[in-house]
C-alpha cells in the first residue's frame, strides 16, 4: 500500500487532503466531524476581531445542468469571539493529535497585535498559522486581506510580524487578484514564510436577477463584489501554482487550492507542485464524505503508477510548463484531427464549429454520416475534438516534422 502521509513545512498529516479555511471549518463540531470522516487536516476559519456578516451571502453559477460550477461568497472572517475559537482549536488538537490543524489569521497591520495573536494561537496547540492575505471583499476595504496581498511590501512586512513572534510554520495565503503572483510570493518568502498557499478567491460579481433587477447574491436589493471559487477556477489556480513552483526564487513548499473536487484534481495539483491540497467548495457542496473517494482514488493511482508515496507526485509535471516561446511551432510539430466513422453519430457539431469558429477543414460528403477532415488544411487547433459529444470519436494525431528552431529564425528576421 502506498503511503499517503505527508510532511508539509514541518506539519505532519495522515494524507494530503485538508479542508480550506471557510464556513466548513468554523467550529470544533465541523472539524472533528471532518477528521472522523478521514480528512488529513483543516485550516480553521480565519480568526480576527469578530465581524457581523450580511444575509444572503452566497451565489452560484450552474452550467449544463450542473449545480455550483462556480461559487461566489460575500462572507467575511469568523463572527465568533477569538477566545471561543482558540478554546475550540485546543479541544480539537487534544482529541486529534495526529491530524494537521492550521489556524487562518487576519488582523490590522500593527506589529504588537500580530505578535500577541500568533503567540496565543501557538499556545492553543495548533500545528501552524496561515496568514490570510487573499480575501478580496469586505476585509480588503478595512486594510486587510487582498489589499495586503496585492502590495509586495505589505506582504513582506506583515509576514515578518508573524514569523518573528512564533516558532510555528507560517503559511502565507496569496490572492490571485494580481498581475503576476510571483512578486507577492517572493515578498512573503523574504518575510520568512515557511510555505505558500494559493489561490484564494477571485474578485467577482456573480450576476443579476433578470426579474427583480437585483444583483446576486441579493442583500435587501443591494449587492457587492465577492470571492469566486469552485471547479471553474481550477485552471487559473494550476497556472499560478506552476508559476511559483518553477520560480527559482521560491524555495518553500506550496499548498494548492482552487476547484479541487476529486482525487484526479488533487493529483494534477500535486504534479504541478503542491505538496498538500485544500478543499472547500466541493466539501460544502457534497459534504465531508467525499474524502473516502479522494483517498481511495489517490491510493489506487499511486499503485497504478508504481509510486511508493504521495510525495512522489509533487512537481513532476511542473517543469513542462514554460513560456510560449518554448513551444515547438507547427512548422516542426503538428497534430491533425482524425474522425472515427465507426464512432461518429453524425451530429454535425464538428463541421459547424470548424466552419464558423476555426479553419474550415472539415467536409460533410453527401450521403455519408461521418464528416471528413482535409488533413492538409488542418492546423490542429483541437476545437472539433472539444465539441464532439462522443469520447474518442475525434482524436488529434501528431505529425512530427523534425525539430526546426523557428523561434530563433523569426527573432533573427525581426532584428
Q: How confident is the model at residue 25 (pLDDT cuts 50, 70, 90)?
A: very high
Q: Where are the alpha helices (DSSP H) in 223-374?
A: 234-245, 263-271, 281-286, 291-305, 349-357
Q: How confident is the model at residue 108 (pLDDT cuts 50, 70, 90)?
A: confident
Q: 276, exposed or middle or buried, with CB in 10 Å at 0-12, 13-18, 19+? A: buried
Asked if the model's pLDDT at residue 186 lies above 70, the reply is yes
Rounded distance, CA 119 to CA 296, Å? 38
Q: How confident is the model at residue 402 (pLDDT cuts 50, 70, 90)?
A: low
Q: In terms of CATH architecture, what is 6-320?
A: Alpha-Beta Barrel (3.20)
Contact 223, 215 (CB under 8 A): yes
Q: How confident is the model at residue 291 (pLDDT cuts 50, 70, 90)?
A: very high
Mean pLDDT value across the chain: 90
pLDDT digits (tens, 9 = 90+) for 58-81: 777 888 888 888 778 877 788 899
**pLDDT, mean of residues 191-211:** 92
135 is catalytic: yes
Contact 161, 96 (CB under 8 A): no
Q: 151, exposed or middle or buried, with CB in 10 Å at 0-12, 13-18, 19+? A: middle
pLDDT in the model for residue 120:
96
Rounded distance, CA 294 to CA 302, Å? 12
Label the pairing between strands 372-373 and 202-204. Answer: unpaired
The x, y and z cell numbers of residue 150, run together, are 496585492
Q: What is the CATH number of domain 324-414?
A: 3.30.70.20
Label residue 338 left, alpha or beta by phi (over 0 means left) and psi (-120 to 50 means alpha). beta
Share of residues in the chain with pLDDT > 70 (%): 93
pLDDT in the model for residue 51:
66
**pLDDT, mean of residues 37-48:** 95
pLDDT digits (tens, 9 = 90+) for 292-337: 999 999 999 999 999 999 999 999 999 999 988 888 888 888 999 9
User: Which regions of 4-99 does DSSP assign to beta strands (E)?
Assistant: 6-8, 11-13, 17-19, 41-47, 58-63, 66-73
Share of residues in the chain with pLDDT > 90 (%): 71
Question: Dihedrals φ, ψ of 365, to 5°?
Answer: -60, 145
pLDDT in the model for residue 403:
44
Q: 249, exposed or middle or buried, with CB in 10 Å at 0-12, 13-18, 19+? A: exposed
Q: Which of 135, 384, 388, 393 is catalytic?
A: 135
pTM of the model: 0.89
Q: How confident is the model at residue 415 (pLDDT cuts 50, 70, 90)?
A: very low
Contact 285, 40 (CB under 8 A): no
pLDDT in the model for residue 53:
66
List for the chain the helix, strand, coil content (%; round to 5): 35, 25, 40
pLDDT digits (tens, 9 = 90+) for 328-382: 888 888 999 999 999 999 999 999 999 999 999 999 999 888 999 999 999 999 9
Domain boundaries, the chain: 6-320, 324-414
Asked if the model's pLDDT at residue 49 lies above 80, the reply is no
Contact 314, 270 (CB under 8 A): yes
pLDDT in the model for residue 141:
57
Question: What is the end-to-end Cα distance of the chain in Å, rounded?
Answer: 58
Q: How confident is the model at residue 407 (pLDDT cuts 50, 70, 90)?
A: very low
**pLDDT, mean of residues 258-287:** 96
pLDDT in the model for residue 228:
83
Asked if the model's pLDDT at residue 158 lies above 50, the reply is yes
The x, y and z cell numbers of residue 90, run together, are 485546543
Amino acid at each position: 500500500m502506498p503511503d499517503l502521509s505527508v510532511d508539509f513545512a514541518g506539519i505532519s498529516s495522515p494524507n494530503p487532503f485538508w479542508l480550506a479555511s471557510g464556513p466548513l471549518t468554523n467550529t470544533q463540531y465541523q472539524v472533528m466531524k471532518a477528521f472522523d470522516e478521514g480528512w488529513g487536516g483543516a485550516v480553521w476559519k480565519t480568526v480576527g476581531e469578530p465581524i457581523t456578516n450580511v444575509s444572503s451571502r452566497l451565489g452560484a453559477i450552474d452550467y449544463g445542468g450542473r449545480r455550483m460550477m462556480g461559487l461566489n461568497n460575500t462572507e467575511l472572517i469568523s463572527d465568533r469571539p477569538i477566545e471561543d475559537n482558540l478554546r475550540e482549536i485546543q479541544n480539537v488538537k487534544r482529541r486529534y493529535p495526529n491530524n494537521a490543524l492550521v489556524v487562518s489569521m487576519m488582523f490590522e497591520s500593527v506589529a504588537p497585535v500580530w505578535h500577541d495573536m500568533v503567540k496565543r494561537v501557538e499556545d492553543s496547540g495548533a500545528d501552524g498559522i496561515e496568514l490570510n492575505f487573499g480575501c478580496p471583499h469586505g476585509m480588503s476595504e478595512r486594510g486587510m486581506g487582498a489589499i495586503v496581498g496585492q502590495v509586495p511590501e505589505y506582504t513582506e512586512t506583515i509576514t515578518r510580524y508573524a514569523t518573528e513572534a512564533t516558532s510555528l510554520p507560517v503559511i502565507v495565503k496569496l490572492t490571485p487578484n494580481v498581475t503576476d503572483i510571483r512578486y507577492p510570493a517572493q515578498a512573503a518568502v523574504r518575510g520568512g514564510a515557511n510555505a505558500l498557499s494559493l489561490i484564494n478567491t477571485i474578485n467577482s460579481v456573480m450576476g443579476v436577477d433578470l426579474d427583480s433587477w437585483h444583483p446576486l447574491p441579493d442583500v435587501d436589493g443591494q449587492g457587492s463584489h465577492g470571492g469566486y471559487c469552485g471547479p471553474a477556477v481550477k485552471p487559473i489556480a494550476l497556472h499560478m501554482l506552476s508559476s511559483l513552483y518553477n520560480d527559482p526564487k521560491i524555495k518553500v513548499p506550496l499548498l494548492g487550492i482552487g476547484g479541487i473536487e476529486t482525487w484526479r484534481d488533487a493529483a494534477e495539483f500535486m504534479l504541478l507542485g503542491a505538496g498538500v491540497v485544500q478543499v472547500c467548495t466541493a466539501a460544502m457542496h457534497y459534504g465531508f464524505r467525499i474524502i473516502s473517494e479522494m483517498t481511495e482514488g489517490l491510493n489506487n493511482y499511486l499503485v497504478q503508477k508504481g509510486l511508493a508515496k504521495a510525495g512522489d507526485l509533487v512537481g513532476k509535471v511542473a517543469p513542462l510548463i514554460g513560456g510560449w516561446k518554448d513551444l515547438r511551432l507547427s512548422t516542426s510539430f503538428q497534430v491533425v484531427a482524425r474522425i472515427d466513422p465507426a464512432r461518429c453519430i453524425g451530429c454535425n457539431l464538428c463541421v459547424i464549429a470548424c466552419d464558423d469558429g476555426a479553419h474550415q477543414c472539415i467536409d460533410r460528403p453527401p450521403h455519408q454520416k461521418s464528416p471528413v477532415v482535409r488533413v492538409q488544411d488542418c492546423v490542429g487547433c483541437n476545437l472539433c475534438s472539444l465539441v464532439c459529444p462522443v469520447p474518442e470519436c475525434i482524436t488529434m494525431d501528431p505529425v512530427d516534422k523534425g525539430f526546426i528552431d523557428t523561434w530563433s529564425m523569426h527573432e533573427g528576421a525581426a532584428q
